[in-house]
Structure formats: structure tokens, C-alpha cells
A and B are shown apart, each in its own frame.
Chain A
Amino acid sequence: GESVGLHLPTLSVQEGDNSIINCAYSNSASDYFIWYKQESGKGPQFIIDIRSNMDKRQGQRVTVLLNKTVKHLSLQIAATQPGDSAVYFCAENGNNQGGKLIFGQGTELSVKP
């Protein structure tokens, strides 16, 4: 079936370095992608999103890249801070799926001071 998966389950970076979290998706009809951050004991928190008619979208310290050719999504966090430590999920919304999201497994980001 269709699924969204992550290449790396854990990622450890030094404070101040840039982080890159990757995600693969299999539904070529998906037209909307979201990155979420989930801290321990809390619900997912929206970070940034992108539509399939875009290749790149930037937010504050975060950038999402979409490569539709290889069905790959990445989240780049600039100057990673200890407060960025969390589990990051990508999610995709299939075309005309009424807002339903399919979540990937998640990548745990650990930032070392």
C-alpha cells in the first residue's frame, strides 16, 4: 500500500550545525506535504509545508525541499539548537483526500551542546 517512510530513524548533531532529515513517499498522487515536530509527551506541532507544484519552501531556520522525480522530501534546520531536539515526522496528503494525512515513522533528532 501507499506509505511514507524515513531513511534515518535517529540523527545526532552538534549545536550550531545544520541538520537534514529525509523522507521518502510512495504515492505519486500526493500533492501536499507537511513536516511536524513532536516533543516528548506532546502532540505534533506544525513546522512547514509544501505543495507538489513547488520544489522548495523556506521558513524561519527551516527549509523543505521536494524532489518529485524520486519522491523524496527533506527538512533542513539551520544552526540547530538544543530546543530542536524532538522527533520529526513527515506527512503526505493524497490528492483529493480531504485533509487525511499519512505519517512516516519519524526521525529522532538529538542536539548535543
Chain B
Amino acid sequence: NAGVTQTPKFQVLKTGQSMTLQCAQDMNHNSMYWYRQDPGMGLRLIYYSASEGTTDKGEVPNGYNVSRLNKREFSLRLESAAPSQTSVYFCASIGVRGGDFNEQFFGPGTRLTVL
């Protein structure tokens, strides 16, 4: 049981390049999320997927697209990277823990630098 995994761990892009961040969870969770974290700040929600086949915008969706490929995988795509997208990206999934409490499990993060 690996929990939430993300690839790659580090990435450097030039402005205008595109890339896809991969995320997978093996906990059979329905809901998955993509966040970004800038230095000294909390996490901000980019997109989320409440269930397979559905995706919705979060607080900061501009410049990103997502795909919920199946129940396990939720990818984040930058079509044309900009320096403002330099950040650490976290994927998370949510599961029920004890009664009606939910728990979010986070991946280790992808550190992206856009030059």
C-alpha cells in the first residue's frame, strides 16, 4: 500500500514548455485533489475530482488542466508553463476515517521550476 504517489519529484521547465504531473493512489478513494504551495504559504486548490469522470475548478485553476484517467490516477497538465507556476505541487486523495470524518492523504510533492 503505497498511499499517494507523484511523479516526477523535481522538474525544471522553460517558459512555454508543457508537461504533465502524474498522481496515483491505491486506497480506492473516490476524491482526488491537486494543490500548489508557494514559499511560506499554505496550499491552494487548483482542481479536484469528486469521483471518476468528474473534475471541478478550485481556487487557482488558470493555466492548468486535469484528467481523471481512472479511479486511481489524476493528472495535472501545464500546457504553456510560466514562471508564476514555479511552485511545489501536491496531490491528495480523501477517504473516510472513523464514522463521518474524512482524512486527506497527501503525496510527497513535485517541485517545479519554470525559467
Contact = CB atoms under 8 A, between A and B. Distances in A.
A46 B31 contact: no
Contacts of B108: 42-43
Given A100-B48, A105-B41, A106-B42, A32 B109 contact: no
Q: Pick the most buried of B33, B43, B106: most chain A CB atoms within 10 A of its CB.
A: B43
Q: Pick the most buried of A4, A93, A100: most chain B CB atoms within 10 A of its CB.
A: A100
B112 interface: no
B62 to A, nearest CB: 16
Interface size on B, as a range, is 20 to 34
Contacts of A102: 45, 59
For chain B, what secondary structure do more than half of its interface residues adopt (helix, strand, loop), or is it mixed?
strand
A98 interface: yes
A42 B104 contact: no
A44 B45 contact: no
Interface in B41-55: 41-45, 48, 50
Contact of A42 (B44, B94, B102, B109): B109
Interface string A81-107: 000000001010100001111111110
Interface residues of A, number: 23
B63 to A, nearest CB: 19
Contacts of B102: 32, 49, 93, 99
Contacts of B35: 103
A49 B107 CA distance: 19
Interface of B: 4, 31, 33, 35, 40-45, 48, 50, 56, 58-59, 90, 92, 94, 101-109
8 tightest A-B contacts by CB?
A103-B42, A43-B106, A103-B43, A99-B94, A44-B106, A99-B31, A46-B103, A43-B90
Given A42-B109, A100-B33, 15 more contacts: A43-B109, A44-B106, A45-B106, A46-B105, A49-B101, A98-B31, A98-B50, A99-B31, A99-B48, A99-B94, A100-B45, A103-B42, A103-B43, A104-B42, A106-B41
